[in-house]
Structure 1
Amino acid sequence: MEGGSKSFLDKLKEKAKAQANYGGNAETSEAGIQATTCPNCGAGRAKQDGVTHCAYCGFEFISTTLTDGIHIKKEDNSKH
């Protein structure tokens, strides 16, 4: 390089090296499986919040009792 000036290609290479990764740096995490099995029938299922019953045998994973909320009121089945 004469006169200390950089060529166009050298300037592009420097600019490319200085650029940050698009979307930020990649996150490193351990590999894993987000799954569990039904204690009743042994069927596999993905761990998902809100899944209350086994899709195969109907076993109830989570039993919930509805209470009166601000906008939603539990139904009173005794009137029907």
Structure 2
Amino acid sequence: MELKLVRESAEGKPKKTDIKKVEAIVEKGNGTAIIYFDRDNSHKDLIALGEHFENSEKSFYMREVRYGLNDNDYMYEVHVL
């Protein structure tokens, strides 16, 4: 599964990552992390990511963060504990 991290600027392109790199980010944070994903990710992939961490006996919380008035001004915030 290919995931995209949040863009650093409105005109920028999102950085691509995979589930192994996301796991490394979580482990680097002593088993907890807050990660921001780009709006271009499919909701289905993010739900699959949550199921992956829940199967690993970790808590997973995801929400949509809106930062502007346009419909496309949002990102996904993911908490893994």
Query: What TM-score comes out, normalization by structure 1 length?
Result: 0.20
Q: Which one has the bigger helix percentage?
A: 2
Q: Which one has the bigger strand percentage?
A: 2
Query: What TM-score comes out, normalization by structure 2 length?
Result: 0.20
Higher relative contact order (CA 8 A, sep 6+): 2
Rg larger in 1 or in 2?
1
